[in-house]
Structure 1
């Protein structure tokens, strides 16, 4: 068995998450939903990473694969297999438990920060965390989930539920992704390379802690 990374659009790969996995010798495979790859089964997974994308976590009609992803995530959680959901991945993690996913108050885009709750300090630290925001949807938390971080605009920014960790924000982006962000984010919202370097520095700590707890 190996770890699996699910991607939804070509531009949003694992980035720093993939780098950390390679550095730690974590074997992993990628299932590209935009490329039509089949999903693995829970029996084949020792850990699961679910990346971002523009679709809704309940958008089964336009994107039939999201239903299968919700079911896969739910089965992984039942088996206590580690799951990390980023952006859409966090929304799918919540949706796998039947939670609503819906438009937030405004689009949250670009350079920003989140603050840890008391439960989230061990993961995020007690200072404001630099992150990249790139979302318009938010979600309800599963019953029994721990809220780990919030921003001024979106309360549910990070949460832990069983063996799952959901991050609505991005900490896997590095200066290497700056040109991609410039090309695909709304004009004027893409972070600059200096800010992305700060995000990557802190993101490496968060991603590392996730793997420390999962391996």
Structure 2
């Protein structure tokens, strides 16, 4: 019997990436929902919810009301510890729904670098990402929610991942993306942000060619391990 997965998108090209095939292989029927456009069903209904990234922020609800509605939508699902995965903005929304602070960083973290895993991280599905440079693309960061485990950090951002038991996982970084040619959509779509941050897209292309294939394999292994650890 197939399982249902609701995939909440904020930007067309920030999609499931390498995670899509894994979800299908694990028997999930994917329902794609566009933030701010599509109506959100009862958050507790799907077997899995995946909240993806985007260029707006949790604290931008006055300009983008979907930020508040998504936080409120996530809260009962997270309270019930229903399986939920958040990536970048998705993880920030989850942290905010738990009552944790999300705030701007002193400097944006954009590019490939490795994670420093905590002991909890080493004993989690993130072990598959050990020694693998992952893609970072964010200017804000979350505090770790009360009761959650910190799984990873970097020099620029100490709070890169949290888990609340085996069913709730928030990732500040992007394990699902970073491989060419798909990353070219990001470089084009975020061209203004890259220019403002004085980041050369050519350097990101070079790093994507160097690290993208390994990240794809490691990211898929991480997701598969997390899905397989979910309670039946």
* 1:22 CA displacement: 1.3
Whole-angstrom distance in 2 between the partners of 1:75 and 1:62: 24
Cα deviation code 1:59-114 (max 9, x no counterpart): 21111111121122221122221000000011011000121111112110011111
Equivalent position of 1:18 in the other structure: 20
Q: Which residue of 1 aligns with 2:45?
A: 44
- What is residue 146 of structure 2 aligned with on the other side? 143
What's the CA shift for 1:140? Answer: 1.2
Stretch of structure 1 that moved more, 139-148 or 185-194 = 185-194
> Counterpart in 1 of 2:185?
180
Measure, in 1, the Cα distance between the counterparts of 2:38 and 2:20.
Answer: 18
What is the TM-score of this pair, normalised by structure 1?
Answer: 0.92
Q: Which runs of 4+ in 1 moved over 3 A?
A: none
RMSD across aligned C-alpha pairs, in angstroms? 1.7
2:216 to 197, 200, 211: 200
Contact 1:178 1:196 in 2 (8 A): no
Taking structure 2 as the reference length, the TM-score comes to 0.86
Deviation at 1:158, TM superposition (A): 0.6
Tell me if 1:212 matches 2:224. Answer: no
CA spacing shift, 1:26–1:7, aligned 2, 3 Å: same
For structure 1, the 5+ residue unaligned runs are none
User: Which stretch of structure 1 is more off in the superposition, 187-196 or 73-82?
Assistant: 187-196
Partner deviation per Cα, 1:188-207 (whole Å, 9 max, x = no partner)? 25342231112111101111
Cα deviation digits, residues 35-76 of structure 1 (max 9, x gap): x11112124311100000111112211111111211222211
Check the 8 A contact 1:31/1:39 in 2, yes or no.
yes
Matched residue of 2:27: which SS? coil
Residue correspondence of structure 1 range 57-76 to structure 2 within 5 A = 57-76=58-77
Task: Give the conservation status (yes or no) of the 8 Å contact 1:115–1:129.
Answer: no
CA contact (8 A) 1:12 1:53 kept: yes
Stretches of structure 2 lacking an aligned partner (at least 5 in a row)? none
